[in-house]
Structure formats: C-alpha cells, structure tokens
Structure 1
Amino acid sequence: MHSYVNPNYHVAVDTAFVLKALTNKLPSQTIEPNQWAHIRGLQLADPTYYQPRRIDLLLGADMFANLLLPETRIGGLYEPIAQRTHLGWILSGNTTSTPKVDAVSLHCNHVTLELESLVQRFFEIDQVPTERSLSQEENWCETHFQQTHMRQPNGKYLVRLPLKNLFDESQTLGKSKKIALNRFHSLERKLQRNDELRARYEGCIREYFTLNQITPATTTEEQHSVKRASSAPTVASCVLPHHDVIKEESLTTKLRIVFDASCKTSNGKSLNDVLCVGPAP
C-alpha cells in the first residue's frame, strides 16, 4: 500500500471495477533492499517496494501518463530506474544481474458487466466517427442511383452503371475488344488441353444465356465510339475478358467464371477505373 500521496493532486475517474483479487502479491519474493546512491533520499511512492504486498490499485495507461513528471534517476546497469510522479517516486527495472525465474500465476475475475457489453463499449469508444460530408462525386453517384435504378417484374433490381464520364467528361474509356479477344484465345488454348474443364466452362456460359443474364452483342465497338471536342475520344462499351476459378472443395459450384473489370483498355483505364464510388452505407 502506498504511504505517500500528494494532497494537491486530484484525478477524475469515470469507471472503476472493484475486484476480490487482482493478482498474487508483488514482488513475488522479497528483494534485498540495497542503498542505491541514485535513489537515496527520494520520497518513494512505495517505501516497502522490496516486500511482497497486495496490489491495491491498477491504473489505465491514459491515467498513468498523467501521473508522470519530467524527472528520472538512472543508476547502474542492474539497478532500478526511478521516475518521479505525482504520487512520489516509483521504481522499475532490474535489481540484480541474475534474475530468478518465478512461477506465472493467472487470476480471472468475473465482473458485474457481461463480456459482450464490455466488448461493445470498447468498440464504441474506439470507433472512428462515421458522420462526414460527402464529396461532389459521392453526391452525384447517390443521385444517379436514386434516379436510374428500377425493380424488375421478377423482383430483381436493375441499376445503371455510374460512369464517371457522365460526371466528368475527362474520364474516358479506351477500346477493349482486342485485349479481351487476345485473353479469350489464351483461354481457348487452355480449355483445349482439358476436356473436362472445357465442358464445365461451356456449361456455365450456356447457363448464363438460358437465364438471360447475358445476350449476344448486336453492335460493334466502333459504333459505341464517341468523340467530343472537349475531351479525348471515349468508348461507351466495354468488352470484359473472363477466366475460370476452380474450387473443388465447394459442395455447390466447383467452377466459377470471373469477369475481369480491372483489365486495362487501350488508354490505360479499366471499367472499374471509370466507375464512380458512392458513399459507404
């Protein structure tokens, strides 16, 4: 128990837990009190630091930092360091060159608040505030979604892509058919070497057509090329390359076709690059 308290120092405590036991007595064994020259005459917060005693109070790191004062006393290599605080001088560090190995003990305390409540409070304190002003692009993207999305008779939603060139004409998309076609030829060579994989892949593509999730293109890339005087030429269509992802351990879909919207077009930008990002929900 501390025998020295600065009567002129006060701290505000928001939350405190009263426990039956915090840990074993500390130090775990008696220390031979040496008369180290660098701490001689100091008003120690715990003058009987060398005797195993019960821990009375455990402070949080935020409060502990407020107790420190800018003054320390450092002795030899295997001597404790003295730090001045509002509660008096405290000691930390080694007291001998041959430290003894002590048994490790663990105390588990059940407090009145449930663990779930404590964890929730921790995240509420640690959470970054979510309120912020939206950027001009985010506002436009939100408005674009509200004005263009619709619900189809089958219950599914149809959403128009928030292309950046509708918001900023300088954000243009280059040609993509040639790049996608080269990727497709590479995929064909891969599928020709594996009949089972090719059958799976063709089955997935046919299913897309059956479900009307994709339809044959009836126009050319040149027909979708737009030239504006105020910006570089842009293409209002994008041909996406695709490839297989195999997951044999899956119980439902072992093969999945992935469309690569990050593939760069002729001007170095991908479809993902020219899509606006709306505000997080």
Structure 2
Amino acid sequence: MKSVFGYVLSCRLYETTHTCMYSVPQLLCIPSVSDSDLCKFWDLETIGVKPRELVDSYSETKVFKEFESTVKFVNGRYEVALPWKDDSAKEKLLNNEVIAHKRLSKFMVELEQDKELKKEYQKVFDSYESDHMIEEVPRQEISGVNPVYYMPHRPVVKLSSSSTKIRSVFDASASCYNGVSLNDYLSSGPSLNPDLVEMLICFRCWPIAVTADLRKAFLQISVQEQDRDVHRFL
C-alpha cells in the first residue's frame, strides 16, 4: 500500500522453536517506486504468454524480410545472404589481410609452445574442410570485385564437451585500418530464439521431455557466394 513513507509491504512471518510458535511482524518500506518499475512486476506474470502479435511484429523488420527473400536450400544446406546495414557498407569495408596476418603470427608463437594444442587445432580445420564447411580461395579469385575481410581466429578448449572439445572462434569485430569491422556493417536483426521460460513451461505438458543438440549448428549454414569473401581467414 502507498503511505506517506512510500510504498509499504507488511506481513507476519511465523517461526517455530522447540517450545512454542510465535510471529514476527515484518515491514518493508520502498521509498520511491516509479510506474515503470511497478509494470515490471506485472510483466513477470506474463512471461511465456505474451500476445502473439508482439512476436509476429518481428517479421515486419527490414532485415527479416530480406532474409526471407534470400534464404534458399542448396546442396543439402540452407544458404543465406549477410544482413548488410545498407548498400554502401560493402564499399566501406577495407581489406585487413595485413592486420590479420600480424595477429596470426603472434598467435603461432603461442601455439609453438603447446605442440599438442597446435596439432589438435589443425585437426579442427581439417575436419571443416572434409565436411565442406570451408574451402581454399582459388588463386585467381584472391583479388576480385567483392569486398574482402579476413577474420582472425583462436581456439576455444572445452574438454568437458562430449562432441566438440576444441573449436575455432572467428573475430568479426577486428577493426580495419579505418577503425571499423565486419560486425559494424552487419545488422543483428530481431532475435528469433523462442522464449526460454515458454519452452520450460512446455515441459509440464507431457510426462517425458527430450532434448537434442545439433553438432556444429552454425557451420551447417552456407553464405551466398558474393558474401563469402568477407568470411576469409588465414
């Protein structure tokens, strides 16, 4: 309730000892609560059951419309175009091969100190190539009409993982000579992930729940040919 001291929440908490049960009055005074703060309390009650029109509104965004118009299924994989912020973004992205080469040289010094990691990290790229997730850029296509960007990379080791103990992480936020990166020119778009609480609530509907994981999920998606040159690495 609202009082001259601010919003007040009052109740009794019952506690039991070996000899008797007694109640302790509790008083919580909240000096200043805005209407927006109060709305957050009510919003918690609607997690997972928000109006459907809020979810459908995501499809009205420019990025999602472009995605729907360019995504296609090619040779057993979905192929997508990169969500460029505008048409001029590609022209502003500079070739950062020299910068990427310097980072790779520094990283190779670290790898030389751990021969086992170097060997296992090489296996990661070998598997990418055998699974047709990466390919060597033909010499005659190294210099072309498309924008070029090289992503530095490092290994991430997770020995507890049952499927991928070592994986490579590519840095698309590495800056070019003009101080911008590939990430700066790409739109993040709306989040299409289902609400976690909503998914957990579904587990209450049936007696058995089954979960699964897609191995190397993001690597199963191809990038359309005219955008692949900004996904290069050394």
- TM tier relative to shorter chain: 0.5 to 0.7
| Match in the other structure for 1:193 | 113
Report whether the alignment pairs 1:131 with 2:54: yes
2-structure distance, mates of 1:120, 1:203: 52
Q: 1:237 to 1:165 in 2, by over 3 A?
A: farther
TM-score, normalised with respect to structure 1: 0.47
Q: How many residues align?
A: 159
Quickly say closer, same or farther: Cα 1:195–1:144, change in 2 above 3 A: same
C-alpha separation between the residues in 2 aligned to 1:198 and 1:104?
67
Q: Per-residue CA shift, 1:2-59, capped at 9, x if unaligned?
A: xxxxxxxxxxxxxxxxxxxxxxxxxxxxxxxxxxxxxxxxxxxxxxxxxxxxxxxxxx
2:94–2:148: 8 Å Cα contact kept in structure 1? no
SS for the counterpart of 1:142 is helix
- Pair 279,171 (structure 1): closer, same or farther in 2 beyond 3 Å: farther
Q: Distance in 2 between matches of 1:184 and 1:273?
A: 22
Q: Which residue number corresponds to residue 68 of structure 2?
A: 146
CA contact (8 A) 2:89 2:185 kept: no
**2:164 matches 1:244:** no
Relative contact order, CA 8 A, sep 6+: which one is greater?
Answer: 2
After superposition, the Cα gap between the structure-2 partners of 1:217 and 1:153, relative to the gap in structure 1 and judged at 3 Å, is closer
- Counterpart of 2:28 in structure 1 is none
The 1:139–1:249 alpha-carbon spacing in structure 2 relative to 1, beyond 3 Å, is: closer
Q: Indicate if the aligned counterparts of 1:142 and 1:279 stay in contact, CA closer than 8 A.
A: yes
CA displacement 1:153-212 (0-9 Å, x = unmatched): 32x31111012242x559721222111111111121111121111110111111111011
Residues 32-47 of structure 1 aligned to structure 2 (within 5 Å)? none
How far apart are the structure 2 equivalents of 1:170 and 1:159? Answer: 16
Match of 2:167 among 245, 248, 256: 256
Aligned to 1:164: 85
Counterpart of 1:174 (choices 94, 105, 109) is: 94
Matching of residues 223-234 of structure 1 within 5 Å: 223-224=144-145
Query: Where do 5+ consecutive residues of structure 1 fail to align?
Result: 1-63, 73-82, 84-91, 93-102, 107-118, 226-235
- SS of 1:143's equivalent in the other structure is helix
In 2, Cα distance between equivalents of 1:264 and 1:159: 24
- Point out the structure with max Rg over C-alpha: 1
For structure 2, list consecutive stretches of 5 or more residues without a partner in the other structure: 11-20, 25-40, 193-234
Tell me the CA shift for residue 277 of structure 1.
Answer: 2.6
- Where do residues 8-157 of structure 1 align in structure 2 (5 Å cutoff)? 64-65=1-2, 68=3, 122-124=44-46, 131=54, 139-154=61-76, 156-157=77-78
Aligned partner of residue 258 in structure 1, secondary structure: strand
> C-alpha separation between the residues in 2 aligned to 1:162 and 1:193?
39
CA distance in 2, matches of 1:249, 1:143: 39
CA contact (8 A) 1:164 1:171 kept: no
Corresponding position of 1:216: 136
Code of the aligned partner of 2:105: H
Give the helix-richer structure, 1 or 2: 2
Please report the RMSD computed on the Cα atoms of aligned residues, expressed in angstroms.
3.8
Instruction: Say which structure is richer in strand.
Output: 2
How far is 1:256 from its partner? 1.2
Q: Secondary structure at the match of 1:164?
A: coil
